[in-house]
Each structure stands twice: as C-alpha cells, then as structure tokens.
Amino acid sequence: MIIDFNSLNREDRFPEILRPRTAGDTFIALFCLWWALLGLFSLFPQIDLGVATMFFQAQQCLGSTKPDQICGIFPYSGDQHMRLLREIFFQLPYVVAFVLLWMLLRCWQDHGATFNALRARNLKIALGSLLLGPVLIVNLWLKTFSGRPRPRQTDLFGGTLDFVHAGSFAGKCVSNCSFVSGEAAAAGWLFCLILIIPQPFRSAAALPIAAVSLLIPALRVAFGGHYLSDAVLGWLSSLVIFAALLALSQTTHDRRISEN
C-alpha cells in the first residue's frame, strides 16, 4: 500500500510542519514515540501502579499469611459478561486475518489486467505486520523473555512476585509475561487496517474499529492482566511495525517506478 498524504482532503490534513510526507517519516515518528513512552513509564513506575490500583479491590487475607501481605482481586476479571467480551475480542484479530488471507489468495488468482496490485500489496502488508509484530516480536519474544510479572502476579496486588518497571527484564515471571500485551498488539493491528479499507467503507468502519481497538487493551488493564504501559506499548508496537512495512513497500515501489 502506498499512502499519498497529498491526496487527502484539505480539511483532513495536518498542519504542513507536522504532516509526514512519506511512510518512512511516519515510521520514524512512531518508533521514537514508542521509545519515549517506554522511558516515561520506566522513569515513573507510579503511573502503572496508580492505574492498576484503580481496578484492584483489597480484601482481608485468609489463612496463614505474612504480616505485610496484600490480598485482593480485580473484580472485572470475574464478571462473566466482561470475560465473554474479552474472549470474543481475543479471537477477533485472527478471524480477520483468516479473511484477509482468503482475500489475498483470491487476489492472486487474477492475472494481467484483472490483477489488483494495490489490493495485493495492502493485504501482504497487513498479514506481514500481524506475523512480525503481535506473533513474533510480542508473543514469541517479549512475552517469553521479558520476565515482567502481571499485576495480579505481583505482591502489591495479591500475588507473590516483585513488581518491576516497564522495560526491565529482571522480573521473575517464567513465561507468558506481562511486557508487552499480546492482545493490545493485536488490537493495534486492527486499528492499522483502517488505512487499507477502501472508501466509502472506511468512513463507516473507522469509528467502530477504533473503538474495539482501544477497548481490548483497556479490558486487559481492568482485568489485572497487564499494566497500562504493557497495553500502550503493545498497542503502539503494531503501528510501528505496520508503518515500517509500509515504508519498505513504498521504497520498493518507488524504486521499481524509477527503473522503468
């Protein structure tokens, strides 16, 4: 997919000094924003603790406990309707990915004048960013090796492990850890799909997709499954990866044009 920022309606444009001119500019801006937010959450861990506290309900400890032990629950995680909603949202990105894969296979069946190169490029970027971001980088690397305990696993919120700030790999979580949120990353990927939906469907679908994309990581925070930093950085990571593949596609496309 090649985004032509100059083709946007005038009322939709950013101020000239702020408007990225290429997908590469967008990637650099998002990449720098990701690291800036990581630094913010790392320097001020009280942001994560404060937000998690909002959803935590302390309770009296039962049985033999340590004098300073904290017991309690994240009430939203026990609500059946909220859990059902979370399960639906958990499956949604991969259902969408299956549909996109089917569309790509259908696209490849066309040849010559009937082959839609732009649609095929869009679909490859979408599927590639899902595989590279939420699947490989987030779930198979960061969540496996980061070691950061989830809020409900830490001793500040009824668990047994020590709290570690965002970006630290010094935690005692063994697998499927908190940094970063895989579901938030998948939700961020859903948000990126708005860019490849053709008009007029994009205008109708943008708001519902954006709402679902933001609600998914919010539920993970409310359930005590992730800190705010895990959700924000996981969500934003997909935008970074999507922009990177978009920039690569744009560079390749421009090079082919210049060679012809």
The residues, any chain, with a CB within 8 Å of residue 195's CB and separated by 6 or more, are 1, 3, 242
pLDDT (average), residues 200-205: 93
205 CB-side CA count, 13 A = 13
In the chain, how many domains are there? 1
Q: Rounded distance, CA 54 to CA 49, Å?
A: 9
pLDDT (average), residues 37-54: 98
Whether 6 maps to a domain, the answer reads no
Longest Cα pair distance anywhere in the chain, in angstroms? 77
pLDDT at 258: 64
Under DSSP, the state recorded for 7 is: G
Instruction: Supply 148's token pair.
Output: 């950061």
Whether 81 maps to a domain, the answer reads yes
Whether 36 maps to a domain, the answer reads yes
Question: Which structural domain, as residue segments, surrounds residue 139?
Answer: 23-61+69-259
Whether 51 maps to a domain, the answer reads yes
pLDDT at 112: 74
Whether 227 maps to a domain, the answer reads yes
Whether 18 maps to a domain, the answer reads no
| pLDDT(15) > 50 | no
- Contacts of 100-108 with C-beta under 8 Å, sequence gap 24+, read 100/126, 100/127, 101/127
Where does the pLDDT of residue 66 fall: very low under 50, low under 70, confident under 90, or very high at 90 and above? confident
pLDDT at 16: 45
Where does the pLDDT of residue 257 fall: very low under 50, low under 70, confident under 90, or very high at 90 and above? low
Instruction: Supply 95's token pair.
Output: 């259902």
pLDDT at 248: 92
pLDDT at 173: 96
Total length of the chain: 260
φ/ψ of 154, rounded to 5, equals -90, 155
Whether 9 maps to a domain, the answer reads no
Report yes or no: 10 and 128 within 8 Å, Cβ to Cβ. no
pLDDT at 111: 78
Across the chain, mean pLDDT equals 89
Whether 106 maps to a domain, the answer reads yes
The residues, any chain, with a CB within 8 Å of residue 13's CB and separated by 6 or more, are 5, 19
| pLDDT(13) > 90 | no
Terminal alpha carbon distance of the chain: 19
Which H or E run includes 205? helix 201-222
